[in-house]
Amino acid sequence: MKYRKTTLKNGLRILTVPMEGTQTATVMVMVGVGSRYETEKQAGLSHFIEHMLFKGTTKRPTAQSISEELDGIGGEFNAFTAKDKTAYYAKVDGRHIETAFEVLSDIFLNSKLDPLEIERERGPILQELSMYEDDPRRSVGEEFEKLLYGQHQMGRNIVGYKETIKSVSRRDFTAYLKKYYVAGETVVCVSGKFNEKEIIGQIKKAFAKIETGAEAKFKKVSDKQVAPGVHLKFKKTDQTHLILGARAYPQNHKNRWALSLLSVILGGNMSSRLFIEVRERRGLAYFVSTSVDTYQDCGYIGTQAGIEHKNLAEAVEVILGEYRKIATEKVAEKELQKAKDYIKGRSVMGFEASDDVAMFFIDQEMHKEKILSPKEVFAKIDAVTVADILRVAKDIFKQEKLNLAIVGPHKDTKKISQLLKF
């Protein structure tokens, strides 16, 4: 799978990734800023802007006119806001890629930000925030990052606060867009079935006059920790939801390949150690999973589970037991190879879809030191040894790096803190 990178004079980057054997094409526009770039008074503005860009342009004055045009070609379209990026995308029959790009570039470059629409959209976003707060399986992730990063922007909910959602004005929107939605912070990626020469020409024409600006800056987190941390969010729930994990590495760290394999071995699939131990052997949870989250200056590994309230202590003990085991005993070569094959197999299946391919390349361009091809990524994965897994596990699974976030009817922080004995 080969890609082509084109950089315009204004600094905007274009990635084109032709794919054989697919009839679809995806166009994705990503800007390298998200909620961590906001001030406290702007909390939630990145996400609010994501919503507003679908509310109308001069050419397509309403949300309905935008959606009807993309629905009319059978397209899938959406957007997402993260702490370090915001992306807009459309996936269509390859014959309609030019239409998809024209609509997507129009909303990105020419949104009206109608004050009346801003007022209308406050309601749905407030309901979105309430929906997430009512979903402990989702909100426990927010609570875990709040535990890790505290009052820093990284510890804040991406959607923001009710107060800021209610108070931000059109002037806040336009100032944020002028500062951050600039050429140097924007990447356009097209993948799938398309005419490369024609689409590059279309992108150049559309984005030739996009504003330039200074490089976006963010406040780095302090990722040091001297004692295990516990954070409880009291909520009357049917289950206790928890994430137990440890601080790890940032996005471009040399140990990231070993860490990804470590997470698969621990809880990445239905034959992983924690899935077997927590669910199959002990019946403690229906859902249990281990994953890694990374940012430019920090990262962590965490195991999430939903359990009966009375089984909290046992679940924590079992998870810590597996952390302890993998940090003191070498994994078997066969188990490591199984994890490698799992990652590569899942990746290969993803590479059949143009939207997954677009995300694979654009995310690397935005956040990694260099773009690696799938073949190069697989080589990095294959190079990880049993000794690497043990070394990385020893490094991250230490008493002082442990963190436990819980959403459920629990109040005794001191008692729960005593469970974190490593």
Quick check: 136 pLDDT over 90?
Answer: yes
Sequential DSSP letters for 25-94 = EEEEEEES--GGGS-GGGTTHHHHHHHHTTS-BSSS-SHHHHHHHHHTTT-EEEEEE-SS-EEEEEEEEG
3-state SS, residue 209: coil
The pLDDT score that the predictor gives to residue 422 is 85
Alpha carbon distance 155, 158 (integer Å):
9
Taking the C-alpha atoms of residue 59 and residue 80, their distance in angstroms, rounded to an integer, is 23
- Global pTM reads 0.96
Report pLDDT digits (tens) over 27-54. 999 999 999 999 999 999 999 999 999 9
Q: 45-56 burial, b for 16+ CB within 10 Å, e for fewer? A: bbbbbbbbbbbb
Distance CA 28, CA 355 (A): 8
Do 4-207 and 229-417 share a fold?
Answer: yes
Where in the chain are the domains? 4-207, 229-417
Q: Mean pLDDT, to the nearest integer, of 149-162?
A: 97
Contact 272, 326 (CB under 8 A): no
Catalytic residue annotation: 50
- CATH fold, domain 4-207, is Cytochrome Bc1 Complex; Chain A, domain 1 (3.30.830)
Q: What is the pLDDT of residue 28?
A: 98
Quote the mean pLDDT of the chain.
97
Asked if the model's pLDDT at residue 418 lies above 90, the reply is: yes
- The DSSP letter of residue 189 is E
Q: What is the pLDDT of residue 36?
A: 98
DSSP state of 181: S
Is the CATH number of domain 229-417 3.40.50.1220?
no
Closest C-alpha to 183, from 163, 211, 164, 218: 211
Q: How far is CA 75 from CA 56, 79, 86, 93, 251, in A?
A: 18, 13, 20, 7, 32
| pLDDT value of residue 196 | 97
Integer Cα distance of 37 and 180 in angstroms:
9
348 pLDDT more than 90: yes
Q: 171-182 pLDDT, tens per residue?
A: 999 999 999 999
Report which DSSP code applies to 193: S
pLDDT at 1: 83
Percent of the chain surpassing pLDDT 90: 98
